């Protein structure tokens, strides 16, 4: 069962990844994560590393999603060329931006993504053209709304066709309301609940970042299905702290 199908039946949990070591990616899949977000917005991985990360994820049942740097058609297309299961686009503030992201991620007739079938996603040309283009247009597309402008334009963004998940970034959202980093502030939590209610009305799947296990549970209760918990390197560091207890 693919990630899209899982999301329609239950909450799915993943992590962000900022490592350049594909063993961390493979280990996340072995551990049972539903998905991993390979972060190029705030992470160091380049395109060659991303190809290896996607291969590592493919060795497990875990889906791979690449977070690109922004609304850039070449960047979105290159991310999908790796064979990743989806792409995540940050900082969506308007319906026009949402439409541009869809256009960059989909082939005709749903978009105008640059065409090359001699890429890993198409088995380097071995996959039949019709099969490749049809499968490519089913890849997961996640749009992030994480600022005041995006919240104000949410109704129009939700009317855009062609994306699968609306992802709320609580840290950028906290900054936009004047409490940077305070993701548990009443204002941030209330905004997230309002966003969730509007998305549910439109039948749009919801995603969000969490950095506590408690928040994982409350997000699930609020109707979020695509829940990204923390970052691989931070999880590793926190686990080591429990071992290195100083006397």
Q: pLDDT for 165-188, tens place per residue?
A: 999 999 999 998 889 999 999 999
DSSP state of 124: G
Q: Give the rounded percent of residues in the chain with a pLDDT score beyond 90.
A: 93
Dihedrals phi, psi of 112, to nearest 5 degrees? -135, 40
Is the previous residue joined to 178 through a cis bond, with omega within 30 degrees of 0? no
Looking at residues 116-124, what average pLDDT do you find?
Answer: 95
* Residue 209: Cβ within 10 Å count: 24
* Token pair in block for residue 174: 């906290």
Catalytically active residues, by annotation = 42
> Quick one: pLDDT at residue 163?
97
- Predicted confidence band of residue 28 (pLDDT cuts 50, 70, 90): very high
Task: Please count the residues of the chain.
Answer: 247
Q: Is the pLDDT of residue 93 over 90?
A: yes
Q: Is the pLDDT of residue 246 over 70?
A: no
List, in order of start, the domains of the chain with CATH numbers.
3-243 (3.20.20.60)
Percent of the chain with pLDDT over 70: 99
d(CA 81, CA 103): 15
User: Is 16:39 a contact under the CB 8 Å cutoff?
Assistant: yes
> So what's the pLDDT on residue 247?
53
pLDDT confidence of residue 177: 87
Whether the per-residue pLDDT at 1 is higher than 80: the answer is: no
Structure tokens at 2: 């693919």
Q: Which of 98, 29, 94, 99 is nearest to 64 (CA)?
A: 29
Angstrom distances, CA of residue 165 to CA of 33, 55, 157, 178, 227: 18, 24, 12, 26, 11
Residue 98 pLDDT level (bands cut at 50, 70, 90): very high
Distance CA 214, CA 232 (A): 18
- pLDDT-derived band of residue 244, with 50, 70 and 90 as boundaries? confident
């Amino acid at each position: 069962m693919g990630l899209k199908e899982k999301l329609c039946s239950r909450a799915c949990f993943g992590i962000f990844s900022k490592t350049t070591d594909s063993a961390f990616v493979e280990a996340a899949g072995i551990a049972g994560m539903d998905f991993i977000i390979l972060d190029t917005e705030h992470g160091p991985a380049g395109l060659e590393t991303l190809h290896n990360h996607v291969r590592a994820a493919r060795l497990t049942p875990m889906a791979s999603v690449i977070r690109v740097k922004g609304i850039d058609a070449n960047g979105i297309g290159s991310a999908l060329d790796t064979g990743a299961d989806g792409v995540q686009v940050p900082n969506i503030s308007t319906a026009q931006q949402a439409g541009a992201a869809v256009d960059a991620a989909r082939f005709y007739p749903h978009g105008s993504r640059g065409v090359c079938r001699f890429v890993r996603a198409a088995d380097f040309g071995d996959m039949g053209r019709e099969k490749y283009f049809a499968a490519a247009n089913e890849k997961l597309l996640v749009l992030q709304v994480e600022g005041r402008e995006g919240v104000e334009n949410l109704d129009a963004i939700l009317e855009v066709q062609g994306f699968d998940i609306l992802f709320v970034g609580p840290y950028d959202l906290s900054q936009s309301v004047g409490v940077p980093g305070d993701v548990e502030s009443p204002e941030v939590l209330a905004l997230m609940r309002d966003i969730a209610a509007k998305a549910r009305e439109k039948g749009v799947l919801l995603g969000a970042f969490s950095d506590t296990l408690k928040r994982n549970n409350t997000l699930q209760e609020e109707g979020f299905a695509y829940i990204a918990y923390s970052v691989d390197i931070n999880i590793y560091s926190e686990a080591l702290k429990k071992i290195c207890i100083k006397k």
